[in-house]
A and B are shown apart, each in its own frame.
Chain A
Amino acid sequence: MHLEIGKFEVKDVQFGSKTTFAEGLLTIHKEEALQVIYEDERITTADLVLAKPTEPVRITPVKDAVEPRCKVTGESVYPGVTTKVLPVGSGRTHALKGVSVLAVGKHWGGFQDGLIDMSGPGAKQTPFSQLLNICLVADTNETFEKQEQQKKNTALRLAALRLAEYLAEPVRKKVPEEVERYSFPPLAKRTQELLTLPAVVYVLQLQSQMLEHGYNATVYGHDAGRMLPTLITPNEVLDGAVVSGSFMPASSKISTYQHVNNATLKRLMKEHGTTINFVGVILSNLNVQLEEKERAALMVAQLASSLGAEGAIVAEEGYGNPDTDFILTYEQLEQTGVKVVGITNECTGRDGRSQPLVDLSAKADAIISTGNVSEHLKLPPMERVIGELEAVARDGNAGGWNESIKEDGSVEIENNAIFCADSSTGDHYKTVKDY
């Protein structure tokens, strides 16, 4: 399998009379772009607002982030979600780099929504402060969930995917400045040279704790909670096979943007052929019933051992209850003889003195820690808010509470509320240390 991702570095974004990309400048014809949004009758009002790094801007409630991409050699960027189920992972995809489309609620937030500060002390909490953000600020007629703490945010999240595809159309036929190439030869046809290197798998535990459809991460459009752990190629993940869901507190969440830019996967692909023989991705899940957790852990270990894996990196999209899936899987792999490094965040409380994970194991001796969900943050007021600040305090945000917003516009929240701050895909510098 051979995938090429053609990169177009976006240096600035502006609105104009035609949607174009030239010399690093992305120009958006707003009215035309909004027509793409309004294709879904559930969207009642929509606007596009730009937020750039270092600006005094706060964005919330953010529901997902998407990288503008188009599939040059096919029809689908997010198969099973924006189109029917089609293959991805090979051929040519073009991507606008340095820019992301954010799905932002005009009013309503929820448990899982995030906050991004483009400057000030909050900016360093999340890598999304470093991108040119095209904010789709919209409201929908999904009244059934307006007062619900748990929201599927279906219309808004789908609209962001459509908008991202629309924005990448101008580069479909252009020659990219740089092409990333990912070759993933079939396992049974690997060279002797590759076979002498230690085989490594990447295990991605997707968030799938909700029983009802529409909240969980999806794989080719299929609810990750309703699958057994599945072997998939890195190419497919980097080319849109996985789309983010709408459940986990924001800091623990993996956005759609991060799935196609999965930093750990890219790093493993870079090592592939030099220090390791990368044998693939096991997409697993995070379930609520013990039997499901045990079954998933067994299946991951079985797949890894069938592949001859000697090493594994396990990433957990969540914290709390999912820690048990993480530890069970870690233990099963180690028991099978696979050496594991885990990537997860922790929940040590505001004073840092609580047990980091819900479940513990002496076998879990190699963990990369990406944040403390309950880190207490006081963020100064921002000149401009995109979305609605009240959502953090009013709508049951996992990191907010009734008194989170102060009169001067400053906020007091837990890290839980910061959008994709504890990137378990490994694209951030944040960690947790002893004080």
Chain B
Amino acid sequence: MKKAVHYLNQFFGQIGGENQADIAPQLHEGHVGPGMLLHQKLAPVAEVTHTVICGDNFIGSKTDEAIEQVLTELETIEFDIFIAGPAFLAGRYGLACGALGKAVQERFRVPVIASMNEENPAVEMYAHELYIFSGGANAAAMRKDVKKVADFSKRMLQADKLRPAAEEGYFSRGKRLEAFDGSNRTGAERAVEMLLKKLNDEPFHTEMPMPVPAKVAIAPAVEKMEEATIALVSSGGIVPKGNPDHIQSASATKWGKYEVDALYELEAGSWETIHGGFDPSAANQDPNVIVPLDAMRELEQEAKLGSIHPYIYSTVGTGTTQAEAARMGTEIAKDLQRANVSAVILTST
């Protein structure tokens, strides 16, 4: 049988009300309070072997200390899943479930399942980290909320395929992944139905909610170009012939850094593009059309800029996810900052 650890605050942990909210974390064997219901509902797949109880104020004010104490205690036992709450609308309790749950998940690599009301501030903070089930506003919903958490936990422990957030009942973790339309309606049927609703001013639900784009502030202009060090960075896939870093031709996760200090231009034959998303013939004939080293050298000779950074940076920007692109961009930027580069010319394809 799998082992579950349950987290409760001082109130649900049967220690006391607000006057006991300062108690330090404690680990009990077996289940406590609503843990009995959880224990029953987890059977026969899992059992609640231990319960962690902590005062809401203690963990709220000394969060790091409380978490470290709990993690140290948990090191002494074995468990497969960590279940927190339900915390309903209780803000401090919810935040405790979130902060502790996240720490337990990172340290022990076990799934963490919580339950809270949608108005609980911890939902917004931790929904992307944990499975937080949508729960009632107060303990009147205990039976229902515990059952939801237990059913999902059992399926998770049995490695069943998990369904989308709305079907399972947990808050979206910000992951958009494939699913099959439950009612077997084709894209065509869904599209025409949505159009008719939109035409008739009836409510409809897009299948792709538009994210709010992250705006990046434009950097101030370079004041003294004649003193500036300029770097060339490109998502156009220009690499030394043979692609020494094995950068992928699409959906890239790697970037390369190549010395060009001794070069006046990027010669065809020595450099090539490995970008899979555009017609490469012009770029292979003259790689400088993607990474304009030749034009930059001219400007350098005319003293219109200080110097050209001795390395170019390259990756492939086709099919590359926004998250991977942001990570690679951050890594390249750090490297450029270390080298005191003043500005970057970023070229695509």
Q: Give the B-binding residues of A (Cβ under 8 A).
A: 111, 124, 149-150, 198, 200, 209-212, 215, 249, 263-264, 266-268, 271, 275-276, 288, 310-313, 319-321, 339-341, 343-344, 346-357, 360-362, 364-375, 396, 398-399, 401-402, 414-416, 423-435
Residues of A within 8 A of B190 (CB): 368, 426, 431
**Interface check B174, CB cutoff 8 A:** yes
**Interface check B204, CB cutoff 8 A:** yes
**Interface check B318, CB cutoff 8 A:** yes
**Interface check B179, CB cutoff 8 A:** yes
Given contacts A368-B194, A369-B207, A150 and B176 within 8 Å (CB-CB): no
CB distance from A398 to the nearest CB of B (A): 5
Residue pairs across A and B with Cβ atoms less than 8 A apart, 8 shown, are A212-B281, A313-B191, A339-B195, A347-B319, A398-B251, A423-B187, A425-B188, A430-B180
CA distance A435 to B190 in the complex (A): 21
Given contacts A150-B279, A209-B278, A427-B188, A432 and B177 within 8 Å (CB-CB): yes
Q: Which of B198, B208, B324 has the most CB of A within 10 A?
A: B208
The 6 A-B residue pairs whose C-beta atoms are closest, nearest first, are A426-B188, A352-B175, A426-B187, A349-B321, A354-B321, A433-B164
CB distance from B109 to the nearest CB of A (A): 16
Residues of B within 8 A of A347 (CB): 319, 321
CA distance A339 to B248 in the complex (A): 39
Let me know if A428 and B186 touch, CB within 8 A. Answer: yes
Fill in one digit per residue for B198-211: 1 if any A CB lies within 8 Å of its CB, else 0. 11000010111011
**Interface check B140, CB cutoff 8 A:** no
Residues of B within 8 A of A373 (CB): 319
Residues of B within 8 A of A211 (CB): 279
Given contacts A398-B319, A432-B176, A434-B166, A356 and B194 within 8 Å (CB-CB): no
Cross-interface CB contact of B181 among A149, A423, A425, A429, cutoff 8 Å: A429
Residues of B within 8 A of A355 (CB): 211, 213, 321-322
| Residues from 265 to 311 in B contacting A, C-beta threshold 8 Å | 276-281
Let me know if B251 and A264 touch, CB within 8 A. Answer: no
CA distance A181 to B172 in the complex (A): 45
Let me know if A434 and B165 touch, CB within 8 A. Answer: yes
Residues of A within 8 A of B77 (CB): none
Let me know if B199 and A339 touch, CB within 8 A. Answer: yes
Residue of A nearest to B182 (CB): A429
Residues of A within 8 A of B172 (CB): 434-435
**Interface check B178, CB cutoff 8 A:** yes
**Interface check B185, CB cutoff 8 A:** yes
Residues of A within 8 A of B191 (CB): 264, 267, 313, 341, 343, 368, 426
Let me know if B192 and A429 touch, CB within 8 A. Answer: no
How many interface residues does B have (CB within 8 Å)? 52
Cross-interface CB contact of A288 among B198, B208, B278, cutoff 8 Å: B278
CA distance A433 to B198 in the complex (A): 21
Let me know if A432 and B179 touch, CB within 8 A. Answer: yes
CB distance from A76 to the nearest CB of B (A): 27
Let me know if A321 and B277 touch, CB within 8 A. Answer: yes
Let me know if B213 and A360 touch, CB within 8 A. Answer: yes
Residues of B within 8 A of A423 (CB): 187
Let me know if A433 and B210 touch, CB within 8 A. Answer: no
Cross-interface CB contact of B166 among A361, A364, A370, A433, cutoff 8 Å: A433
Let me know if B185 and A429 touch, CB within 8 A. Answer: yes
Let me know if A349 and B323 touch, CB within 8 A. Answer: yes
CA distance A86 to B260 in the complex (A): 56
Q: Which of B165, B180, B188, B196 has the most CB of A within 10 A?
A: B188
CA distance A149 to B274 in the complex (A): 9
Let me know if B176 and A427 touch, CB within 8 A. Answer: no
Let me know if A111 and B164 touch, CB within 8 A. Answer: no
Let me know if B186 and A426 touch, CB within 8 A. Answer: yes
CB distance from B1 to the nearest CB of A (A): 28
Residue of A nearest to B213 (CB): A360
Cross-interface CB contact of B162 among A362, A375, A435, cutoff 8 Å: A435
Residues of A within 8 A of B251 (CB): 374, 398-399, 414, 416
Let me know if B321 and A200 touch, CB within 8 A. Answer: no
CA distance A124 to B175 in the complex (A): 21
Q: Which of A350, A352, A401, A435 has the most CB of B within 10 A?
A: A435
CA distance A122 to B187 in the complex (A): 19
Residues of B within 8 A of A367 (CB): 206-208
Given contacts A200-B195, A368-B207, A435-B172, A264 and B188 within 8 Å (CB-CB): yes
Residues of A within 8 A of B194 (CB): 341, 366, 368
Let me know if A354 and B322 touch, CB within 8 A. Answer: yes
Residues of B within 8 A of A349 (CB): 321-324
Residues of B within 8 A of A348 (CB): 175-177, 321
**Interface check B147, CB cutoff 8 A:** no
Residues of B within 8 A of A288 (CB): 278
Given contacts A360-B210, A374-B319, A341 and B198 within 8 Å (CB-CB): yes
